[in-house]
Amino acid sequence: MTAVGIDAMEIWTGKLKLDLAETFAPAQGDDPGKYTKGLGLRASSFPDVYEDIVTMGANAAHRLMERKGLTPDDIGRIDVATESAFDNSKPVSTYIAGCLEQVYDENFHHANKGERKFACISGTQSLDDAYNWIRAGRNRGRAALVIATDTALYARDDPGEATQGAGAVAMLVDEDPNLVELSTEQGYGSADETDFLKPNQQFPSVDGKRSVNVYLARMREALEDFAEVAGDIHPGDYEMIPFHTPFPGMVRKAAALGYRHIIRGTDVGDLMAEEIGHQPMRSDFETDDEFHAAIKEYTDALTETERYQDWYSNAIEPTLEISREVGNWYTGSVHIARASGLKHARENGLDLDDARLLVASYGSGAQAEVHAETVVPGWEEEIGALDIDEQIRNRYDLSFAEYEQVHDVHNHETETDVEEFTAPENEFAFDGWGRMGERK
Ligand code: HMG
């Protein structure tokens, strides 16, 4: 079977930065440790006034096409995943294609364009769609462009405000990929939930605390479902586990749950049992509360062990490095986590050829999906081409007053006249309704 997967990717961050420790925490009257240690975030990326989901997506896609020497004729499909769409009819992919057509002689007249929605997990669902399209033999030798783009903003003073972010990830899905090969095995955990939603509104209504538990519950179900198709998982099977990362503190919880789950029935589970005792079973307790208290006690002990901490620092920590600097990018978040882990491996001279990744995606509403990927030779060159560190460094550092202004700009309900903080440089820039993404 020909390998199908992600051939290359590009990341485009919003050009502004909100420093959580230096700027946000003092304005909120909070201890910076709540953000830097508790949530695990240093900063958020913010879109400048001329940036939005279209410009960021188009800029990431354009850079990807240029680097890979592609023209529109090479692309048979453009899938955009977003939960920040502004048009209930025309998909964002048509706006992005419109931008790209300004710079190529060819157009995308024969490409299938669409928009995927299921909160943050739709980035991975779009990858799946592209993979299935190629596997079904409908691609006529062409590749798919998958773009995850979001302005993940919350209402002012919402507890989610500290986790905001904005950026786009463009991925080229093709045969014989140079980055990762996707597998056919997937596990799902899915249930109708109402802890995070945006029914015809700009900013989400969120029950933040509940959303954390819903994430964990769906992730556990997805891991169980994955084991049904792929067989039992051993912690040593996967070099890294990129999780959907709304903030690194969430992944700290998800990783502990994942590890607890995957060591069951393995030699690692036996060693852990000797060290900290057996995992609590529901049947040993009279009430759910007693069981949950015992699970929490066991998990706390587990995460204190050297074995767990070694695993965490190799399999999880590297996937969080970019996220700490940029916040939640919703649909792009898990794809940043993958890129972050691979970038860390490249910078530290780790050989990941043929290594396996377990990619754990999640979207509120709610659904988790777990699938395996294989890192393929060529990955180092592809990851080495990313300039995300430079983009992160070059962001304009907002004062709190400037942050308040720019937040208003991106709240479509508020009239504002704020000057841009940075200047567009040879990129697509937002230029008013109906004239989106002009090249400047
Ligand atoms: P909060 O309630 O204001 O924060 O917001 P907190 O009081 O729970 O503190 C956060 C952590 O910091 C806690 O750690 C504190 O102990 C710690 P934990 O107990 O959880 O391990 N802390 C400190 N640590 C060190 N020094 C200090 C200090 N103070 C406190 N001084 C909340 C947290 C998650 C509720 C909020 O950020 C929120 O509402 N976020 C938005 C929703 C969200 O991100 N949910 C995550 C799961 S759902 C998801 O991922 C889907 C999503 O991406 C959307 C989609 O799919 O489309 C959001």
pLDDT for the residue numbered 412: 72
Residue closest via CA to ligand 1's atom 30 equals: 34
**pLDDT, tens digit (0-9, with 9 covering 90-100), for 357-367:** 999 999 999 99
Strands 438-439 and 356-363, sheet pairing: unpaired
Residue type, 336: I
Shortest-distance Cα residue to atom 38 of ligand 1: 160
Instruction: Give the pairing of strands 75-81 and 143-152.
Output: parallel
Mutate-to-test residue for ligand 1 from 212, 245, 300, 367, highest number of ligand atoms within 8 A of CB: 212
Chain mean pLDDT for the chain: 95
d(CA 84, CA 412): 11
Residue 435: pLDDT over 50: no
DSSP string, 44-96: EEE--TT--HHHHHHHHHHHHHHHHT--GGGEEEEEEE-S----SSS-HHHHH
State which H helix or E strand residue 429 sits in: strand 428-429
pLDDT digits (tens, 9 = 90+) for 44-55: 999 999 999 999
Mutate to test the pocket of ligand 1, among 24, 34, 153, 213 (most ligand atoms within 8 A of CB): 34
What's the CATH number for 4-439? 3.40.47.10
Q: Is 364 in the pocket of ligand 1 (CB under 6 A)?
A: yes
pLDDT digits (tens, 9 = 90+) for 379-425: 999 999 999 999 999 999 999 999 999 999 888 766 678 889 999 99
- Of ligand 1's listed atoms, the one at least distance from the Cα of 35 is 12
> Domain spans of the chain?
4-439
Residues with a catalytic annotation lie at 83, 120, 244
Q: Is the CB of 33 under 6 A from ligand 1?
A: yes
Would the CB of 243 count as within 6 Å of ligand 1? no
Q: What is the mean pLDDT of residues 41-46?
A: 98
* Rounded Cα distance, 299 and 204, in Å: 31
Please give the pLDDT value at position 437. Answer: 57
CB of 20 closer than 6 A to ligand 1?
no
Which pLDDT score is estimated for 188?
A: 98
Using a 6 Å cutoff on CB, does residue 120 contact ligand 1?
yes
355-341-123-125 Cα dihedral, nearest 10 degrees? 20
Expressed in angstroms and rounded, the spacing between residue 50 Cα and the centre of ligand 1 is 30
Total-model pTM: 0.97
Q: Residue 129 C-alpha to ligand 1 middle, in angstroms?
A: 32
Residue with tokens 């290594």: 355
Does residue 55 line the site of ligand 1, with CB under 6 A?
Answer: no
Indicate if ligand 1 lies below 6 Å from the C-beta of 31: yes
Q: Give the residue, by CA position, lying nearest to ligand 1 atom 10.
A: 38
Nearest-CA residue for ligand 1 atom 16 is: 38
Burial group, residue 109, by CB count within 10 angstroms (0-12, 13-18, 19+): exposed
**Residue 196 CB less than 6 A away from ligand 1:** yes
Q: Which of 196, 209, 210 to mutate to test the pocket of ligand 1 (most atoms within 8 A of CB)?
A: 196
| pLDDT mean over 245-251 | 98
